[in-house]
Structures are given as structure tokens and as C-alpha cells.
Structure 1
Amino acid sequence: MKNWKESNDTLKATFEFDDFVQAFGFMTQVAITAQSQNHHPTWTNTYNKVEFELSTHDAGDVVTEKDRKLAESINEIFDKMS
């Protein structure tokens, strides 16, 4: 899966943007998608970078299909903004 690496039972990715406003807009779109999937990421934002760590808490903090689905959705949002 492009942009993502699996490490220590977590999917991780960093997305970089032109500026803070574009990064925040991306986060807003991801928040709406995450809510609709009922799967909420651990993430941080510093200026133009958004970093994610995905795992499924209900499954014992391991990577599941829920994480892969959200990661693909995040990729789609990023691709539309690029």
C-alpha cells in the first residue's frame, strides 16, 4: 500500500503539503471519512506535515482490515488534493 509502512503492529505514514492550511484541509476531510468508518486515527500535524499511526484497539492494537480501509481512504483524499 503506497505511502504506508507496517511496523510494530501499526500502519504509519507521513503526508506533506505546501502549507498549514492545505494540511489542515486534508485533516478535515480525513476526519469526516474516519467518522463515517467509525475508525479514528492517531495523528499529529506540524505545519505542513500530517503523520498517522493506525491500529485497531478493539482487536488488541494490531493492524486489521479496518486500518487498511482507512489508509486507502486517506490515500484517495491525498491523491485528490495533489
Structure 2
Amino acid sequence: MAVLTDDQVDAALADLQGWSRTEGALRRSVDFPGFLDGIDAVRRVGEHAERQDHHPDIDIRWRTVIFALVTHSEGGITDKDVAMAGDINRIVG
């Protein structure tokens, strides 16, 4: 699996609402109405990530959840990260 070039990541970001490239990873911050809404979203993303065997880094701050994607074994952003970002968008809305 190849690490995507900057141009490839930029092209992918055009179709990934809410995502940006920060510190070498794809990142999205989502604000939820309440703490438990965020926890439920993390559970749903976690279940999907387990099925895909590709896991985002997740930071929970009260009602804000930050998802970060990078393929650590490859040392950068890959197609798996782009696909998971799209999946997360569909899961959390």
C-alpha cells in the first residue's frame, strides 16, 4: 500500500466534508449535542473500524470528538485512510 502524494490527498479532501490534513494525518472534529451522543458515535465508528481492521485515533473532549487517520505502518496517509474518512462521515453524519 502506497502513501498518497500531497496532490492525491488534496484531491481526496475535496470530497471529504469536514476533513483536513494536519500534522501528517487526516483530521475531523465533530461537535455533538451532548457527551453521550459523542460516545455513541465513537462506539459506532469503533465497531466499523474493527470490521475494517483499520482504526482511527480518537480524542474525546466533552461533546467534541476528533478523529485522526494515518496508516502508521506505511508512515503516511493511504487510500485506507481516505476510505475510512468517508465511512466516518456516513456514520456520524
TM > 0.5: yes
1:73 aligned counterpart, secondary structure: helix
Q: How does 1:23-42 map to 2 (within 5 A)?
A: 23-42=38-57
Q: How far apart are the structure 2 equivalents of 1:9 and 1:22?
A: 28
Q: How far apart are the structure 1 equivalents of 2:92 and 2:58?
A: 15
- Which consecutive unaligned segments of at least 5 residues does structure 1 have? none
What displacement does 1:69 show? Answer: 0.8
Q: How far apart are the structure 2 equivalents of 1:28 and 1:13?
A: 16
- Which consecutive unaligned segments of at least 5 residues does structure 2 have? 1-15
Q: How far apart are the structure 2 equivalents of 1:8 and 1:20?
A: 26
Q: Are residue 69 (structure 1) and residue 83 (structure 2) matched?
A: yes
2:84 aligned counterpart, secondary structure: helix
TM-score by length of 2: 0.79
Q: Are residue 47 (structure 1) and residue 65 (structure 2) matched?
A: no
Identity %: 29
Amino acid at match of 2:53: N
TM-score by length of 1: 0.89
Q: How far apart are the structure 2 equivalents of 1:40 and 1:77?
A: 14
Which ranges of 4 or more aligned residues in structure 1 deviate by more than 6 Å?
Answer: none
Higher Cα radius of gyration = 2
Cα-Cα RMSD: 0.9
Aligned residues: 78
